[in-house]
Amino acid sequence: MQSPKDLGAYCLNAFTRAVPASLAAFYRIDDGLSACDFQLHGGHDQMHDSYLSRYRHLDPLQPGFCQRLGRQVVPLRDAQALQSRQHNEGYQTFLSQHDVVDVTEVLFYTQNRPVLGISLLRKSRFGRFTAHELDTLQSLQEMLQLAVAQRVFEPAPALVEPVPAALTEREAQLVPLLRQGLSNKAMARELGIAPSTVKTHLDHLYRKLNVTNRTELVSRLYL
């Protein structure tokens, strides 16, 4: 069976080839309708860290908001109608800091709830998504939706799940931060420790759970 990592890589490749994007992210959606288990495309780790730590609560394209619109492809301008002007201005400030001029979300559903999503971000070089490009994204979503439905994805468990008892207190503190997709530096800031200490704890986790990278580690802990 295809792994979530492989499916994410396939989706990111298919969508960014059909509709150019400066940055993209594939993610799962937990049972609290929050995005998690991010796979990034386009090398924007620092921007992603800033988003998670400071701006996620301002994002009108969060899965819960998109579900309220009842659509599979949701452009930023449509989602902004669901929240306050103050929140929209705060989120726009974040996007402008990174030269992002437009964002479109593509969601995949099982049993009428979103379980997977793709964020596509456009910098000024590409301009905003056109109506034709949004139609192309909708067609791609419909093709891949069948594959998602056949896999019968379950919602990712929320971040309050217990972690294995064999982990130390500090290792257990790293687990939810890993799942959010934070970098070592961002996790270090969250916990008030040095990045080198984070790396040491991650090395211990890799050995304990017999994995070789962060994606395998998150999958072993949660999937």
pLDDT in tens, 44-61: 888 998 898 889 989 999
Does the pLDDT at position 150 exceed 80? Answer: no
Domain stop point among 102, 119, 151: 151
Q: Is residue 25 located within the same domain as residue 118?
A: yes
Q: Is residue 109 located within the same domain as residue 191?
A: no
Q: Is residue 123 located within the same domain as residue 175?
A: no
Q: Which amino acid is at 24?
A: A
Q: Is residue 183 located within the same domain as residue 74?
A: no
d(Cα 202, Cα 184) in Å, to the nearest integer? 9
Does the pLDDT at position 70 exceed 90? Answer: no
Asked, for residue 159, whether it belongs to a domain, the answer is no
Q: How would you list the strands of the sheet with 100-110, edge to edge? A: 35-41, 23-29, 113-123, 100-110, 73-75
Asked, for residue 160, whether it belongs to a domain, the answer is no
pLDDT in tens, 89-132: 999 999 999 999 999 999 999 888 899 999 999 999 999 999 99
Q: Is residue 111 located within the same domain as residue 179?
A: no
Q: Which tokens belong to 65?
A: 């908001």
Contact 104, 129 (CB under 8 A): yes
In this prediction, residue 160 carries a pLDDT of 46
- The CATH code of the domain that includes 58 is 3.30.450.40
Domain stop point among 95, 116, 151: 151
pLDDT in tens, 188-204: 888 888 888 888 888 88
Q: Is residue 98 located within the same domain as residue 179?
A: no
d(Cα 140, Cα 159) in Å, to the nearest integer? 30
In this prediction, residue 153 carries a pLDDT of 55
Asked, for residue 177, whether it belongs to a domain, the answer is yes
Q: Is residue 14 located within the same domain as residue 109?
A: yes
Asked, for residue 162, whether it belongs to a domain, the answer is no
d(Cα 115, Cα 154) in Å, to the nearest integer? 7
Tell me the residue range of the domain where 32 lies. Answer: 4-151
Asked, for residue 53, whether it belongs to a domain, the answer is yes
Q: Is residue 71 located within the same domain as residue 41?
A: yes
d(Cα 61, Cα 63) in Å, to the nearest integer? 6
Q: pLDDT-based confidence at 181, cuts 50/70/90?
A: confident
Q: Is residue 125 located within the same domain as residue 40?
A: yes
Q: Is residue 118 located within the same domain as residue 188?
A: no
- The CATH code of the domain that includes 174 is 1.10.10.10
In this prediction, residue 95 carries a pLDDT of 96
The number of residues making up the chain comes to 223
- Please count the structural domains in the chain: 2
* Rg of the Cα atoms in the chain: 18
In this prediction, residue 68 carries a pLDDT of 87
Q: Is residue 81 located within the same domain as residue 133?
A: yes
Q: Is residue 142 located within the same domain as residue 197?
A: no
